[in-house]
A and B are shown apart, each in its own frame.
Chain A
């Protein structure tokens, strides 16, 4: 008898210790954030949206930020996330590898939901051809970013450099776009590839940097960000969430939140919006399923 009880408990323990996602979803909704820029400011930027959605769904919404881009994919399930704001590449990977459902795409001020990537060097770095950068230090954002990594990789490939690890003396990943820009600006690195919107934000904040940095190359517009959710999320919640996000710009409270986030509105997401990412992957000779976004831990 005793053995039978222990056996039942053992069998039920996974369910007891890891409750079904629906159960957690009913208690709170966890939204993940990638470290697109300074994690503190980025987290703070999304707090108004979390509060807004919390009121909309009448349940708490907890934000969780990850220190690495790739972590959002690796730790989505581990952290019991219901959804996350992904970058272009991480979003594309999540849709395909985790089977998440793309929900909405934020539209930036000016009406665009996509922005290019910039390859930036310091102006004091002598550069006539790309070959001049050989042996320099590259500060990249993350392997799981389109503009912070794939773009530079495809750019270098286009210039005949197939192994950037050996081309540069050192390659390190700052984890965020702004850190990458500051790394170049501070002289800790010579070249970087970042999201143009982050670059312009930093330049706006610190105009002197514009004099110190130089944009070497510009990519095609790539989707800026995408919010994906679990595919098995409560349809009623999904409906409210989708409707609420798409109509945010139509009510004052929502408009105010969008204003704080520097956004104009949200639009519905679809796979077509990831076309450029797919091209970039193809350009470096891979696809989404084969691409290794993980950075080797040192």
Chain B
């Protein structure tokens, strides 16, 4: 580019130099001509002065001595001026011809001066004076003629010289115009070419720089010439590429750090096994660039390695099976010397073992060991970044070991949590039992103390009814009797609640017992607009006190019916697992508010105000617990309530 610029500038400079030199030469010539012309004009002026002076002196010649004639001093000055004019003319450089003419004029002037002086100073008779005047005048005329002739010749020369000078000036003008036009054309061409070759690439570079500034690293400028601009563009492209690579590297490091942070955080914070596995694998995906990561863990039941989690690219183009045979895995484990290893994609042995489908270029296996026992492995398929792979494997191995430890911790934590839950439950049961025992004892005392007065009140009420009494009193007696009966019923329930009857256990089909219970209330259901749904799926029998359980079911069904005053669906289900039989009594009633849900099994807790004693569900709870079972409740206000009863199966 520099050469090109220099080339263009050299051409322009050369043109200017040529033009300048030629102009200088021509101007020199023109200046010389003009100088000559000016000199000639000066000479012309001098000659004009000469002629004027001559004419003046000639006039003086005819007026001197007269009344109107000039003083001698004036004539003297005029003649001296004339003399000086001639001397100045003579002093110029002249041709031989002109010199000769000037010599003639000089001689004539000398003679003229003599004649004039003689004429002025003479004192003689008029004829002689007249003669002298004529002589002087004749010489003066001659002098004038000579001077005029010379002036005419000089004028001609002046004209010729002027024409020549004008011609030269015109040539100079034309030449200068040509040089200027040529320079302008070349300048324009150079400007366009240079603009095209400098400004446009620079503009492209500027735009690319702006793109880089806006974050689009790696942008390229397509300038392929070998000029400085091309080199600059090439350097710019390299710089852009380097920036892109550096940023990608930074991003990779950031991603790796993010992954490591994620994994580290996960290993320390996550207590859920599933979450741990997910976060671990996803974290690994951030740590190393790969097409997919597959985590396999040993399934003790199937004795196979099962795919626990995978993180793959959307367009993966490669797949691994859900399970891997233990023997094959062990083979690879041995093949890799029980260490993490990067296998080449061409290793069919590995591909076959893992039943890989798709384009496998490489495969890194990271082994998960717990107390020297292999219990899982991680596969990294098609790692795209193999630089520092050894370092990466080392880091990944450390992470894997930590993962194993974290997994073990979670197992321990889960076990601990289960034990804690069991302990808590036991504690709650103990508290509940103690509470029930205390309430039972209190109820027994209260019932015993109330039972005798009630019996007395009821007896006198029955006796009075047999008497002839006014009808209003009889009605009041009826109320006393019914209320006493209700009080006695409450006392009876209290006694029943407090009394610990020995369980009359017998193998019982719960479906049959449920049917027997339903038979008492079924006729009223249609009246209450309640639809009954039954789903008996249990088949086994359980060892229970049949009467007490009948009371349990009756309580639960009655509660359900009472919860649906506007009608609804009563759903009774039995289920069976290996160890237990489940009975679910569900309604679509109002549901139980969340704040009172934990208290519904407490004695004397009721929401029915005057209608209940608050002992039904307490007795139900106690009966089920006496049988080694359990009862839970799930309720959602407005949607309904489900009571779940668990009863251990017969062993």
Is there contact, CB below 8 Å, between B114 and A38? yes
B65 cross-chain contacts in A, Cβ below 8 A: 67
Q: Is the CB of B121 within 8 A of A40?
A: no
Interface flag for A266 (CB, 8 Å)? no
A34 and chain B: residue at smallest CB distance? B121
A254 to B159 alpha-carbon distance, docked (Å): 47
In the complex formed, the residue of B with least CB distance to A177 is: B121
Determine the chain B residues whose CB is within 8 A of the CB of A39 once the complex forms: 72, 76, 117, 120-121
Q: Name A69's closest neighbour in chain B (CB-CB).
A: B121
Known contacts A35-B120, A67-B120, A174-B118; 5 further A-B pairs (Cβ under 8 A): A38-B113, A65-B76, A172-B124, A173-B122, A174-B124
Instruction: Decide if A188 touches B123 in the complex (CB within 8 Å).
Output: no
Q: Is B646's beta carbon under 8 Å from chain A?
A: no
Contact with A along B103-143 (1 / 0, CB 8 A): 00000000001101110111111101000000000000000
CB distance from A109 to the nearest CB of B (A): 23
Q: Is B267 an interface residue (CB 8 A)?
A: no
* Given known A39-B72, A65-B72, contact A175–B79 (CB-CB < 8 A): no
Identify which of B79, B116, B123, B128 contacts A142 (C-beta below 8 A): B123
| B630 surroundings in chain A (CB, below 8 A) | none
Q: Is B80 part of the contact surface with A, judged by Cβ < 8 Å?
A: yes
Is B83 part of the contact surface with A, judged by Cβ < 8 Å? Answer: yes
Which residues from B are CB-within-8-Å of A182? Answer: 114, 118
Is A40 a contact of B118 with CB atoms below 8 Å?
A: no
A138 to B532, CA, bound (A): 193
Given contacts A35-B121, A179-B118, contact A40 B80 (CB under 8 A): yes
* Residues of B within 8 A of A (CB-CB), count: 21
Counting from the closest, the 10 A-B pairs by CB-CB distance are A175-B121, A172-B124, A173-B123, A179-B118, A38-B117, A35-B121, A295-B123, A67-B72, A39-B117, A43-B76
Taking a contact as CB atoms closer than 8 A, the residue among B83, B122, B126, B128 that contacts A40 in the complex is B83
B117 touches A176 (CB 8 A): yes
Interface mask (A44-68 → B, CB under 8 Å = 1, otherwise 0): 1000000000000000000111111
Number of A-B residue pairs, CB cutoff 8 Å, is 79
Describe B's contact surface by its main secondary structure.
Answer: helix
Q: Is B73 an interface residue (CB 8 A)?
A: yes
Let me know if A298 is at the binding interface, CB within 8 A: yes
Which residues of chain A come closer than 8 Å to B124, judged between CB atoms? Answer: 170, 172-174, 298
User: Complex formed: what's the CA distance from A176 to B116 in Å?
Assistant: 12
Q: Is the CB of B125 within 8 A of A179?
A: no
Bound-state Cα–Cα, A178 to B118, Å: 9
Bound-state Cα–Cα, A188 to B135, Å = 13
Task: Give the distance in Å from the alpha carbon of A182 to the alpha carbon of B83 in the complex.
Answer: 21
Complex Cα gap A284–B121 (Å): 25
Max chain A CB contacts within 10 Å: which of B113, B116, B120, B125?
B120
Specify which chain A residues have a CB less than 8 angstroms from the CB of B117 in the assembled complex: 35, 38-41, 175-176, 178-179
Do B128 and A172 touch across chains, with their CB atoms under 8 A apart?
A: yes
A68 touches B116 (CB 8 A): no
Q: Inside 8 A of B123's CB, which chain A residues have their CB?
A: 68, 142, 172-175, 295, 297-298
Interface residues of A in 115-154 (CB under 8 A from B): 142
Residue among A40, A63, A67, A178 facing the most chain B CB atoms (10 A cut-off)? A40
**Residues of chain A in range 156-215 having any CB-CB distance to chain B below 8 Å:** 170, 172-176, 178-179, 182-183, 188
Residue of A nearest to B79 (CB): A40
A176 vs B76: C-alpha distance when bound (angstroms): 15
Whether the Cβ atoms of B83 and A298 lie closer than 8 Å is no
Whether B80 and A66, one on each chain, are in contact in the complex, defined by CB atoms closer than 8 angstroms, is: no
Cβ of B430 to closest chain A Cβ, rounded Å: 151
- Which B residues lie within 8 Å of A183 (CB)? 118
Tell me the B66-92 residues at the A interface (CB within 8 Å).
Answer: 71-73, 76, 79-80, 83
Kindly list chain B residues whose C-beta atoms are within 8 Å of the C-beta of A40. Answer: 76, 79-80, 83, 113, 116-117
Instruction: Give the docked Cα–Cα distance between A204 and B83 (Å).
Output: 22
Assess the B72–A188 pair: CB atoms within 8 A. no
A284 to B238, CA, bound (A): 131
Cross-interface CB contact of A66 among B72, B113, B126, B128, cutoff 8 Å: B72
Between A66, A142, A170, A175, the greatest number of chain B beta carbons within 10 A of the residue's beta carbon is seen for A175
Taking the closest CB of chain B, its distance from the CB of A70, in whole angstroms, is: 10
Q: Which of chain B's residues have a CB closer than 8 A to the CB of A65?
A: 72-73, 76
CB <8 Å contact, A170 and B76: no
Which chain A residue shows the least CB distance to B123?
A: A173
Expressed in whole angstroms, the Cα–Cα distance for A297 and B117 within the complex equals 18
- Nearest CB in chain B: distance from A83 CB, A: 16
Chain B nearest CB from A283 CB (Å) reads 23
Q: Which residues of A contact B122 (CB under 8 A)?
A: 172-175, 179
The smallest beta-carbon distance between B138 and chain A, in angstroms, is 15
> When each residue 521-544 of chain B gets 1 if its CB lies under 8 Å from chain A and 0 otherwise, what string results?
000000000000000000000000
CB distance from B555 to the nearest CB of A (A): 159
- Offer 29 A-B interface pairs, CB within 8 angstroms, sorted by A: A35-B121, A38-B117, A39-B117, A39-B121, A40-B80, A40-B117, A44-B83, A63-B73, A64-B73, A67-B121, A142-B123, A172-B124, A172-B125, A174-B118, A174-B122, A174-B123, A176-B117, A176-B118, A178-B117, A179-B117, A179-B118, A179-B122, A182-B114, A182-B118, A183-B118, A297-B123, A298-B123, A298-B124, A298-B126
Chain B residue numbers with a CB within 8 Å of A178 are 114, 117
**Could you tell me the distance between the alpha carbons of A44 and B81 in the complex, rounded to whole angstroms?**
11
- A18-37 vs B: 1/0 string, CB under 8 Å? 00000000000000000100
Please, which residues of chain A bring their CB within 8 A of the CB of B128?
172, 188
User: Residue of B at shortest CB range from A170?
Assistant: B125
Given A40-B79, A67-B72: A176 touches B121 (CB 8 Å cut-off): yes
Find out whether the CB atom of A174 lies under 8 angstroms from the CB atom of B76: no
B126 neighbours in A (Cβ, 8 Å): 298
B120 to chain A, nearest CB (A): 5
Distance between Cα atoms of A121 and B83 in the complex (Å): 32
Q: Report how far A187 CA is from B113 CA in the complex, Å.
A: 19
Q: How far is the CB of B341 from chain A (nearest CB, A)?
A: 123
Closest Cβ of chain A: how far from B469's Cβ, in Å? Answer: 180
Quick check: A175 and B125 within 8 Å, CB to CB?
A: no
A64 to B73, CA, bound (A): 6
B80 touches A179 (CB 8 A): no
| Complex alpha-carbon distance, A243 and B492, angstroms | 181
From A43, A63, A68, give the contact of B121 (CB < 8 A): A68
In the bound assembly, the distance between CA atoms of A171 and B402 in angstroms comes to: 162
Among the interface residues A67, A174, A298, which one has the most CB atoms of the partner chain B within 10 A?
A: A67
- Chain B residue numbers with a CB within 8 Å of A63 are 73
Q: How far is the CB of A189 from chain B (nearest CB, A)?
A: 10
Give Cα A174–Cα B122 distance, bound, in whole angstroms.
4
A65 to B116 Cα, complex, angstroms:
14
Most chain-B Cβ atoms within 10 A of its Cβ — which of A35, A39, A43, A182? A39
